[in-house]
Amino acid sequence: MKYRTRYLITYDISDPKRLYKIHKKVNAYAIGGQKSFYECWLNEREFKELKENITALIEEADDKIFIFQLNKDTTPILYGKAKLQSTQPFLII
């Protein structure tokens, strides 16, 4: 398996049609998420592909997408019903 990196991807898309398209693209790589926040384990090829797909769909004057690379050595702090997602990276297509 190729090396994967964990990312947090969040977006604010102004147009409902673009929002739906962006949601489908990001959700295809997500291992967990809620509304417009998604955790993704991506290898270099998948990361490049996802960036190309979503940047082709956005309207730069109106939409926002944030991609944060998460440090693999950081331990998450969980409260309430929060649970860690699978520690084994995977991709659902």
Instruction: Mark the binding-site residues for Mg(2+), compressed into ranges.
Output: 12
The backbone region for 3, taken as left when phi is positive above 0, alpha when psi lies in -120 to 50, beta otherwise, is beta
Residues tagged in the binding site annotation:
12
Helix (H) or strand (E) holding 12, with range, is strand 5-12
